[in-house]
Amino acid sequence: NAGVTQTPKFQVLKTGQSMTLQCAQDMNHEYMSWYRQDPGMGLRLIHYSVGAGITDQGEVPNGYNVSRSTTEDFPLRLLSAAPSQTSVYFCASSYSTDGGYTFGSGTRLTVV
Amino acid sequence: ELKVEQNPLFLSMQEGKNYTIYCNYSTTSDRLYWYRQDPGKSLESLFVLLSNGAVKQEGRLMASLDTKARLSTLHITAAVHDLSATYFCGGGSNYKLTFGKGTLLTVNP
């Protein structure tokens, strides 16, 4: 049971490049979310999904796209990377809101 | 929009001492979560509090929830070095979880 798997663990992008951060869970969780963590800012919600085919925006969605074609996968796309998107990104999933969310190990992204 | 405020943001304490971290939130929240994060690591779920008056304990940590005061507390009893970490509280509804900025706890010998 792998839990929540995020790839890659580290990435350096040039401004304007695009990329996809992968997130997969094998726990059959309906609820999945993406957060970014910046020093002194805590974690901020980017996008979330309550099931396959259903996504919605969080607190800081600009510059990011998501889709949820399967229960297992919830990729986060950066369309045109900017230095302000330098951050640590965490994916999380849960079977219900009554239980705790399981977080992935994170992706450390640097945009130069 | 839910706002979550933790205090203190930094806490340095001696081993064996007790202390409390406070988590205030601005609007109604269905539930309150506490997480722990070690440096460079992911977040680990500690407690999920679902109703007013809920109290949960695990080892030296005890969390409580007062929905009327919109306040949750994380109480540390007889701190040990292994508890050094950043602690986050979070709340929300409809699957949108909002976190506080975290409390960096350092336990000194």
DSSP secondary structure code for residue A101 in this structure: P
Instruction: Please report which confidence band the pLDDT of residue B60 belongs to, taking 50, 70 and 90 as the band edges.
Output: very high
Nearest CA to CA, how far is A43 from chain B (Å)? Answer: 6
d(CA B45, CA B87): 10
Q: In a structure prediction context, what are the per-residue pLDDT tens digits for chain A, which is 112 residues long?
A: 679 999 999 999 999 999 999 999 999 999 999 999 998 888 999 999 999 999 999 999 999 999 999 999 999 999 999 999 999 999 999 987 677 889 999 999 999 9
Per-residue pLDDT, A97: 65
Q: What is the rounded end-to-end Cα distance, in angstroms, of chain A? A: 36
Residue showing tokens 């049971």: A1
Closest-approach residue (CA) in chain A for B2: A59
pLDDT of residue A103: 95
Tokens of A88: 């640590």
Q: Which of B30, B31, B96 sits opposite A48 (nearest CB)?
A: B96
pLDDT band at B34 (very low <50, low <70, confident <90, very high): very high
Chain B: residue whose CA lies nearest to A41: B101
